[in-house]
Each structure stands twice: as C-alpha cells, then as structure tokens.
Amino acid sequence: MHISSLLWHGFQTAHYSAFFAPQNGFRHFLHTQNADKPFRGLYTLNAFDASLLIPYFIVMILLAIYGVHRYQLAWTYFRYRKNYNPEPPQHFAELPYVTVQLPMYNEQFVVDRLIEAVCAMHYPKDKLEIQVLDDSTDETKEVARAIVDRYAALGHPIVYIHRENRHGFKAGALEEGLHIAKGEFIAIFDADFVPPPNWLMKVIHHFAEPEIGMVQTRWGHLNRNYSMLTQIEAILLDGHFVLEHGARARSGDYFNFNGTAGMWRRQAIIDAGGWQHDTLTEDTDLSYRSQLAGWKFKYLPDIECPAELPIEMTAFKTQQARWAKGLIQTSIKVLPVVFRSKAPLRIKIESVYHLTANLSYPLMVIMTALLIPAMIIRFYQGWFQMLLIDFPLFTASTLSIAVFYVMSQRELFPRTWKKTFLYLPFLMAVGIGLTVTNTKAVMEAIFGIKSAFARTPKYSVAKKGEKSKAGKKYRKRLLLSPWIELAIGTYFALAIVYTFINQNYFTAPFLILFVMGYWYTGLMSLFQGRFDRWKSGGANTKDESSPKPFPVGV
C-alpha cells in the first residue's frame, strides 16, 4: 500500500478509535502502543524504506562493535591487573644523562610556571639538560628568553632554542632539539604541564631494563573543578589513561606516547626513524614505529603529571579535532605496516580499534541523518519491535560509554566515584556535540587534506572564577560549525515533539541527549568569551592581536 494512503487510513482509524476509547491512563498508553495499533497488518516494507533502514542498521551495528570493544577493554584491564608493578625491577648504579625538552608555541602565560616546575625537579644538575624549544611568533619569545636567562644565571642547565619557522611544527622542533641533545634519555613536557619535583627520579630507573624504549605517566588535571566542561574533559581523559592505557599496557598490546609527560630512550626514537611530521599525532605515529622496531613501552598510572584543561569550548574542539584527524592519518600510514609485521594477530586487531576509533564520528553523522526517518518508518511497526532490535544495539554502543567512564572514575576515586553518574548525561551529550567538527577532521584525513598543527590555547587558570588574558589573545573563532550544531539540535527538538504527539515516549530520552549535545557545543562556541566583553563594557570586541586559528577540523 502506498505510504500516503496508509497514513490517511491510519488517521481515520485512529480518529475513530479515539472517539470511543478512554483517553487517559498508562493502560490506555500501552493499549494504543500495542493492541490498538492502527497500522498493524497494513504496513509492508518497500524499497524506499529499505534504502533508509539498511544503512541505518549497518551504522548502528558498526557503532555497537566499537561499543563492545569498550567492554572488552574494561574486561582486559581487570583480567591483567596483576601484571602491573609500579616499582622498577632494577636501578641504575649511576644515573644517566637526561635531556628535558619543552616544546612551545605562543605560550607566554604558562611558560614561567612550566620552567619553574622543571627547574625544581630532583636530578643531579651535571646529568641534566633542559631545552626550551620555542617556535613562538608573538611576545612569548621575549618572555621565554628572559625566564631562561634568569634560571640559567641561577645555575640551572637550561638553554633557549628558537626557530624562525615552524617546519614540522612540534615534531620538527623536537627533532631539531634531539640533534643537539646530550641526553641518552629524553623527557618531554608540553607548556600546560606542571611536573612534580620527583617525576624524573621516579621514571628514570624503569629504563634500567634495556628493552624499555618509552615510559608514559598519567595526566592529572590542575583545573578539574573549574566548570562543567573541565569536569567532562577530565572524565574523558581519565577513561583513556586508566582503562585504555591500562588494558593495553598490561596485556602487552601496543599503546602510544601521549606527546607529553613521558620519557624516551634516545635509541628507541632513532630506531623508529625519528620524529616525522606527516601526521598531526606525531606521538602516536612514532610510538607504533618504535614498537614495531622491537622496543617495549611501560605505562605508570601511579605517577601523575598535572596539566591544564581547556576552559573554552572552541579550544576543546580544536584539540579534539586535531587528535581525531591525526589518529586517522596515523592509521592510514601505520596499519599497513602493522599488518605486514610479525606482530601477533591480537595486537593487529587491537591496533585497528585503537587507530580507527574516530571513524565513529562520521558514522554518527550518518546515524543523525537517518535516525528520524528510520524512527518514523519503524513507528508503524510497533514499539515492542523497535525495542527488541534497538535495545541490544543501544546497550552495546551507548551504555558501554557509561560503563567505561564510571569504571575509570571508580578506579581513581574509590570514595567519590558515584558522583560520575551526575555527569554522564552531559558527557554523552558533549560527545554527540563534537560530531560535526570531528567528522570534518576525519574526512580531511581520509581525503589527504593537509593542515597545520593547531595548538590548544593555554589559559593559566586553575580555580573556579579565575580569568586569564590568554583567553582574549589566543581565543579561537569558529564560523560555520556552531550554526550547523544549533540547526541539528533544533531538528532533534522537533523530533521530540513528533514523538510526544505520537505517544512514542520511549525514544524521547535518547533524542534529548542529541538536543543537549548539539545546542551546548553550538551555544558555547558562539558565546564563549562574549560574557567577559559584556562585563567590560564591550571593550576589545575585536582583538586584532589574536592569531587566526589553523583550519583543523573546526
């Protein structure tokens, strides 16, 4: 039967039933959803509907596969829990020479904090070298040079190295610093990190095992309680550093250096072919090449190195888009080599999951486009049939996110982890809201579109209510993506209205997450920083000193 005549027949039947049936009560709702379905026996699947439902279910199944993998990571973490020993099995009889590299680009508001922390680290000065690798193009050059000169005059082994160009971006700076580095071991800290004084002494002895090529420590969060956004960012990162890194490291799978708060054996970098800058995640790229060369990595979650989380949505989006694009670039570059290698099949499969996880963002875009038409078509099949199919897929994909992050918080905060449930709806909503910018980044990687390394602005704020001049100077400006997000959020809001009109209440909570996510990321991108300007009387509404953002997925 044609869909238009079907709808008209259904309207007539529903109108007739509504005239004689009682119109309130839960029993009536269940009756109308099941027993009195006006379209029961009338609807037959046609080619048009199938063309929507088949790709919809394919996407849902693919997302569910990645969701099942999250369950598998959590299971692996606990299965191999006894494989972790925080103490090094042996110690150096004599401490080796260490070079600490501090790559930075336009970081004038945090450079003092970083250098102060690094110079306060416990390690013999005659066995230590600190390189400030500065690619800055603004006042950071003068600020950083003055700070380095001050600490050098106090006897600290610190040098300032400035490049006139950003060739290779961060990877290029690290490579140039490595050429003149004196250390057998290379520790790296980004500008927003504040390593504790005992960090070097806790990490170095793990390299007494000659097969260890890299040691990664866990990121902490200086400004976790700054806002709802930083709380969500902290939970997202905790999931990665607790369960993902923990599971892969303990089970013997490949895992990656995170670009900072880690230490390398110089020879492990050289054997891998050195730093390369053909991807935006040079750290993951080098990690896989080094492990394929035979080096072993260690992860030390008990050693925390705190850092500053982005406090503005635009900065967070820029960071996430860079990571999403870089990992897909790395997967295209590295996975063929992994599959040609003699690595066990288990490692090859896990590498695919690890490096292609961001493909879930374009899959989410497809699901977003098909969700409402599929819901309308399947509404006439009955809600029980919808739940019978959707609930297992929902459990595999969406519920796995909740389980994954709750478990990570339980490991870190055994007394207060239950608070995580309050953040879960917002965490999932933000993940949905990142779909637009991250999909663009992933598609750029797939089609080989190159872009610059977009730094994440550092604000030098830790406590709630603090303000930073960095926000005005380094704030990113997004153009089209916030409006797309708001439009998609409105689309889902109208879909919620439709579900209530048709008494299909079961899908409404799921759709609310989409509305929250797209509206939150869109509005926060548009209005971030405007409140400060309104409070200051509209001053500096157009900051000419703010550099244009690099076009990385935003």
Which residues carry out catalysis? 135, 283
The answer to whether residues 223 and 463 touch, using CB atoms and an 8 Å cutoff, is yes
The answer to whether residues 554 and 524 touch, using CB atoms and an 8 Å cutoff, is no
Q: How far apart are CA 245 and CA 412, in angstroms?
A: 14
Q: DSSP class of residue 193?
A: B
Q: DSSP class of residue 298?
A: E
Q: How far apart are CA 311 and CA 308, in angstroms?
A: 9
Joined together, the tokens standing for residue 281 give 């995640």
- Number of neighbouring beta carbons within 10 Å of residue 81: 12
- Beta-ladder partners of 103: 133
Q: DSSP class of residue 241?
A: I
**For the chain, the helix, strand and coil percentages under 3-state DSSP, each to the nearest 5:** 60, 10, 30
The answer to whether residues 215 and 300 touch, using CB atoms and an 8 Å cutoff, is yes
- Number of neighbouring beta carbons within 10 Å of residue 339: 12
Evaluate the CA torsion angle 343, 344, 346, 348 in order and state its sign: positive
Q: How far apart are CA 59 and CA 370, in angstroms?
A: 10
Provide the Cα torsion 528, 533, 535, 538; round to 10°. Answer: -150
Q: DSSP class of residue 164?
A: S
Q: How far apart are CA 205 and CA 184, in angstroms?
A: 13
DSSP reduced 3-state for 279: coil
Straight-line distance from the first to the last Cα atom of the chain, in angstroms, rounded to the nearest whole number = 45
Strands 296-307 and 212-221 come out as parallel
Report the alpha-carbon angle 187-188-194, nearest 5.
105
Q: Can you list the alpha helix ranges (DSSP code H) found in 189-281?
A: 199-204, 228-239, 245-251, 266-271
Q: How far apart are CA 475 and CA 457, in angstroms?
A: 7
Q: DSSP class of residue 32?
A: I
Q: How far apart are CA 8 and CA 454, in angstroms?
A: 55
Q: How far apart are CA 317 and CA 329, in angstroms?
A: 18
Task: Please report, as a single letter, which amino acid is at residue 18.
Answer: A
Report the alpha-carbon angle 340-345-347, nearest 5.
90
Radius of gyration of the chain (CA): 26
User: C-alpha distances in angstroms, 74 versus 345, 359, 405, 524?
Assistant: 20, 21, 10, 32
Cα Dmax for the chain: 92
DSSP reduced 3-state for 475: coil
Strands 185-188 and 262-265 come out as antiparallel
